Structure 1
Amino acid sequence: MKILMCTDGSAHAAEALRFGALIAREAKGPVTLLGVLERPGEERKVNRMLQRTSNALCDDVPDLDIRIRSGHAAEEILKETEETTYDLVIVGSRGRRGITRFLLGSTAARLARYCQVPVLIVKGKRRELKNILVCTGGAECGEKDTELAGRIARLTGAHVTVLHVMSQLPLTPEAKMSDLENSTEALLESDAREGAHLRKDLEILENLEVEGRAKVRHGLVIDEILAEAEDDNYDLVVAGAHIASGLRRFMLNDITERIVLDSTRPVLVVR
């Protein structure tokens, strides 16, 4: 797993580097530490943070590279991912400007929308990675979310919960109103499309030798995902931002962005 860890020298970026190190140390693959200078006079602060992170990782990461770019953080990170192939990008969630519902142009939100590489957006202070929540919409593309979550879980020894929310409004034309009332056990045993995908998700985790379980909640999709993340104190929430069309694409993008904005814990956005 080739990882890009990014910093602008802010405290939130420092938390992202610390959390990202939990994965990087276990992955033992190539890691690039990218410092982005958005304003004149920031080079010393950014260099200091890059050096501290490098010193902390050097014993566990055999292939460690440090790069510095100048410009807008989101644009420079996107350029870096276009010029070099990465499997995972790790950033902080707030930078200096903050990230709110009214600031979708912020670095983290722009990366969540436009980056073609999975982006881990670190929020808050998490000192371990032992409990992962995967949010599935019951589609084939969602298997990428489960597979990447499983790979990370295998590295860190984490447990994975695959969550499907039965909404009052079906996100897929194939969904039946009767299916929206299913319990976890009933859905797993049913011939519903969502049940088949949950079974496939659990099979993916089993093949990766990762402990996993399925869970179903009922209600508004975003509200239930955020509630589940808080109720079981997950260390990481995994959500997809997959290519779709029409209304479904709009709804899925909106759900993913809302999770990024409103979650109090790290969010991994997978394409």
Structure 2
Amino acid sequence: MAKPVVVGVDGSPSSLEAVETAAHEAALSGVGLRLVHAFGWSSIHPPRGGPPWNRAEAGVRELVDGTLVEAELRAHRIAPDTDITREVTAGEPVVVLEIESRTASLVVVGSRGLGAFGGLLLGSTAVHLASYGRCPVLVVRGRPHPTGPVLLAVDGSPAGERAVEFAFAEASVRGADLLALHVWNAWSERLPEGPDDQLRIVVDVDRLREEEQRLLDETLSPWRTRYPRVAVESRLVRSRIRPALIEASRDAQLIVAGARGRGGFGGLLLGSVSQALLQHAHCPVAVVRGAE
């Protein structure tokens, strides 16, 4: 049985936007959609002043049902033929979604929350799921370019292989182009021989550029063969990693990055890069963990 797309629902505008995105993803992939509401507050960031509902004035079940009814209506408008199920469970949102990720093809969350998923900041929720979830995590943020490419952040590490696979699959089902961006830099050091001395020891930049280009080509080669209908543009950029990826996301409909890795990103852990994308990208961000 095909694994469903799971979306965290709390009734906030952000989570309802995530529901629409998740419904679209489920329809494209031909799988079911699972709406999940976690009934509980995170012990990490409990809401100030207690819960926003009054047990004496309103039934919790009615509030939850109303939230899920609205979410289901929105999902049906986006994907009328998709099988949609609901799940209401007690527990901390990140823990609930982590468990759900074990039987999901994709977990989708919004970038802001007001209810059950609002107790954690975006970074905490997304980084936790990216670190411990068992499937890709898509965080809905920014304004996706409707005709832009799927942007793949290539680092060339073995851990990033699943991110490459996910990006090609997304471009295929969306009928979109794929832009594979590999950002690199060369280490340099100023020699302190005098106040006006600008001499630097610099590695062989041309040789490094050739190596980085070869890494990019080798990373993409098998997936170009597997997805021959996907138009691929590979781009090698010497720049600061995070600003380059964030700027490139302006014209993308989705950016895909691995959860962590080393290699083309000049020694930076990809975790720090993915966190920057989750906070500052101009389009939705998919974070994909590598193989165990």
TM-score by length of 1: 0.79
Matched, 1:224 2:244: yes
The 5 Å alignment of 1:1-271 reads: 2=3, 3-38=5-40, 39=51, 41=60, 42-56=63-77, 59-61=80-82, 63-82=83-102, 85-96=103-114, 97=118, 104-105=123-124, 107-126=125-144, 128=146, 130-169=148-187, 177-179=203-205, 190=210, 192=211, 195-208=214-227, 209-230=229-250, 233-242=251-260, 251-271=269-289
The alignment-based identity, stated in percent, is 23
Task: Give 1:268 shift.
Answer: 0.3
* Alpha-carbon separation, structure 2, partners of 1:129 and 1:74: 32
* Residues 32-74 of structure 1, C-alpha deviations (whole Å, 9 max, x = no match): 221233455441442223321343356332x432211233221
* Alpha-carbon separation, structure 1, partners of 2:104 and 2:147: 21
Contact 1:134–1:160, Cα closer than 8 Å, also in 2: yes
* Alpha-carbon separation, structure 1, partners of 2:287 and 2:213: 21
- 3-state SS of paired residue (2:73): helix
- 3-state SS of paired residue (2:6): strand
Aligned partner letter, 1:219: S
More helix by share: 1
- 3-state SS of paired residue (2:134): coil
Aligned partner letter, 2:220: D
CA RMSD of aligned residues (A): 3.0
- 3-state SS of paired residue (1:29): coil
Contact 2:7–2:19, Cα closer than 8 Å, also in 1: yes
TM-score by length of 2: 0.74
* Alpha-carbon separation, structure 1, partners of 2:149 and 2:107: 20
What stretches of structure 1 of length at least 5 have no aligned partner?
171-175
Query: Which entry has the higher C-alpha Rg, 1 or 2?
Result: 2
* Higher deviation after alignment, 4-13 or 29-38: 29-38
- 3-state SS of paired residue (2:150): strand
Task: Give 1:165 shift.
Answer: 0.5
Question: Partner residue of 1:173?
Answer: none
Change (3 A) 1:69 1:125: farther
